[in-house]
A and B are shown apart, each in its own frame.
Chain A
Amino acid sequence: MTDTGSPRSSALRRRLSQINPVWVLLVLLIAAIIFMNPRFVEPTGYMNFLKRAAPLAILAAGQVYVIVSGGFDLSVGSLITLVVVGSSMLTNNDPAATYWVIPLMLTMGLGVGAINGLIVCFLRVPSLIATLGMMITLNGLAFLWSGGAPRGYLPDTFRFFGRELIRDVPLVRFIPVSVLVLIVVVGVFAWAMHRTNLGRHIHAIGDNPVAARLAGVPVNRVRITAFMISGLSGAIAGILLGGFAGVSTDVGAGYELQAITAAVLGGAQLLGGKGSVPAAFGGALALTAIFTLLNFLGLPQPVRQVVQGLILIAAVALAMHRRKQTGT
């Protein structure tokens, strides 16, 4: 590469190249959506959008932990299904049951993550296979538990998080509860990833597990924690989705790949070492924006699949290209 520009323009270019392209993509997509549907700038427009993106964004934020530590978590989609089906079985139409069912589901998410982590760390099964097995198992468990069809309704107290709005908020008129949950969860996940020792350890393990171990990082404990955080994000996403849409037996299907896609769009590097929670959040918003845009364009499902596939490949190819150029 020859640099013919002035020092100032090269400094500008360097700064520009530091901006994660996912934000540029997101801005372009939002602009296109507003162009297609000017009412998107009203609170109903963008708040509905955020509400819809919330489960995926939370999942992506959790998935980043596992990806940065060098693994995958394919089990979150089935975990969502199990959380929704399990909650409907346990609450059994009793509004008061919500107060113990939700903590129980969050614990279950942590537990599933812990099992994934234990299998990967101690049975030495690659995470792709370990979480694939978990995905099949959890899906079977959800069916086994419910007998194939959901047995109960989710009470309104449970659905509060995914469905209700807080009204009369200044400036924006209303905020869906799920958007508040989204802000809190992504905020906490981002803080833990980028401001704590845990985050540094996760990055170190993903970068070079042997070196990290020699440097005294408790590799197994950190990896298990990463899976537990991903499991927790799956449980939270399940609670939001069940709240938003009610009970069904295939709520979570496909979310695992969408979460990985979102994280990758946000620049997370598969097999570890690199990734950021805010960028994965951006990736999830961008993915949801793509779906929304294609919807507004009235394009049929097949075209959406093709576009999703092309964007996925293009995003990673671009990221690799930039990495090569900046030499990192």
Chain B
Amino acid sequence: MRHIIVATSALAISALPLHAQNFNDPEEFAKQQEQLQAEPMGPEGQPWLQHIGDSMVETADLGVEAPATVCFSNAGVNNPWRVVGYTNMTEEVANHESIENFIHVDAEGSDDKQIADIDDLLAGGDCDVMIVSPNTTAALTPAVERACEAMPVIVFDRGVNTDCPVTFVHPVGGYGFGIQGAEFIVDNVEEGSNVLMLRILPGVDVLETRYSAGRRILDEAGMNIVGAEFTDGDNAKTKSIVEDYLQRGEIDAVWMDAGATAVAAIEAFEDSGYDIPVFVGEDQQDFLRKWQEEDMTAIAPTYPTYQWRTAVIAAARVIEGEAVPGPEWVLPQPAITQDNLDEFVNPAMPPLHYAMCGCEEMENYPEAWGGN
């Protein structure tokens, strides 16, 4: 019986390479590398309003009038990044008088449920503009296409395989994230150093591109990659994996595709009695605090949560008939470095608060984000 499963799976794999999504696309890599360097347009100091590239989309003829109802189909609020982002979003909604009503449906991480949610919103007939944060790109495309027929749609975070939305809001992207971290390692350790790569899950587009970009740069610089391990985003597992690697040999740098478990990885070095090596984390407060306290050599690339604000701003502009950057609204994607670390560390915020939220000046900060 097992043979048959293996055989059918083998059948699957033999057909697979033709269709696997390409997570290692040199063109996209080069484009994002360039975008990281580009000077963004728009107001300085307010990256959520900035955009890279100057193409705009007119919205006056879309036929939406203020005040209007904005509906939001959310892939989920199932991780701290999305919790921070969703808070940004609800706070941003309060800034816009043109948004009379904001309806939120949560797909709890299921493609099937998100398709049903979008259909329900369309059948309900209340929505004037729809914002979609797709759970996965391919599966949500037909539902978004149906929504486009009924009203203007704004997509953010992940995209869809259609150009019918008014605009697709997103930061530079996964390659950019991977590039920033890996280049920092290359600049701070010698050639041939031992680098451990820690990853969350296979198959997730935004994480796969981070890894392929990071790997490419580390390989090209002649680093010795001792391992690339999946941690499932689980602190205990992360700590165990790092402890095991330390038993087998030295580690000079740690690259991570997401920072939620960075502190657990650092603790593995501390508890085993080693110095903390060069680290790539993310903009979570617990990592930033640890970095400051232990005086580490580190960098925090970000996938900014302020894009959740931008999606609402785009919706408001559609209602008011103003032009928006499009068909892609590419937001800047800054990294936190030693130079600006102090601006972002805030002990009053919860450990998994994402510091690059662009929310410090908002009315209910920090309480709405769980701070004291």
Contacts and interface: CB of A to CB of B under 8 A. Distances in A.
A160 interface: no
Interface in A155-197: 163, 165
B243 A248 contact: no
Interface stretch (A104-112, A126-134, A218-226, A238-246): A238-246
Contact of B236 (A45, A150, A251): A251
Interface string A287-301: 000001001101011
Interface in B186-207: 202
Interface stretch (B23-31, B94-102, B316-324, B348-356): B348-356
B286 A153 contact: yes
Interface in B338-364: 350-353
B244 interface: yes
Contacts of B286: 153, 246
Contacts of A241: 236
A295 B240 CA distance: 10
Interface string B217-255: 000000000010010011110111101100110000000
B351 A247 contact: yes
- 5 closest A-B pairs by beta carbon, nearest first, are A245-B235, A149-B80, A148-B83, A245-B236, A149-B83
A247 B351 CA distance: 8
A250 B230 CA distance: 16
A151 B349 CA distance: 8
A5 interface: no
A36 to B, nearest CB: 10
Contact of B247 (A39, A148, A300): A39
Q: Which range contains the number of B residues in contact with the other chain?
A: 35 or more
B77 to A, nearest CB: 6
Interface SS of chain B: helix
Contacts of B244: 292, 295-296
B128 to A, nearest CB: 28
B191 to A, nearest CB: 25
Given A37-B247, A245-B239, A150 B234 contact: no
23 contacts: A37-B247, A37-B248, A39-B247, A39-B248, A45-B247, A48-B240, A147-B370, A148-B77, A149-B79, A149-B84, A149-B350, A151-B370, A152-B350, A163-B267, A163-B271, A244-B239, A245-B234, A245-B267, A246-B351, A247-B352, A251-B234, A292-B244, A296-B244
B179 interface: no
Contacts of A248: 233-235, 260-261, 352
Interface string B54-96: 0000000000000000000000011110111000000000000
A52 interface: yes
Contact of A149 (B202, B233, B271, B353): B353
Given A246-B267, A295-B241, 10 more contacts: A39-B247, A48-B240, A52-B240, A148-B80, A150-B351, A165-B271, A245-B236, A246-B286, A248-B260, A251-B235
A150 B272 contact: no
B247 to A, nearest CB: 6
A249 interface: yes
B211 to A, nearest CB: 14
A248 B264 CA distance: 10
Interface in A4-62: 37, 39, 44-45, 48, 52
Contacts of B261: 248
B263 interface: yes
Contacts of A249: 79-80
B272 A149 contact: no
B274 to A, nearest CB: 12
A135 to B, nearest CB: 16
Contacts of A245: 234-236, 238-239, 264, 267
A111 to B, nearest CB: 25
Contacts of A246: 235, 263-264, 267, 286, 351
Contacts of B271: 163, 165
Contacts of B227: 298
Contacts of B235: 244-246, 248, 251
Given A37-B247, A37-B248, A149 B370 contact: yes
Contacts of A151: 350, 370
Interface string A68-96: 00000000000000000000000000000
Contact of A147 (B83, B233, B236, B243): B83
A295 B242 CA distance: 11
A250 B234 contact: yes
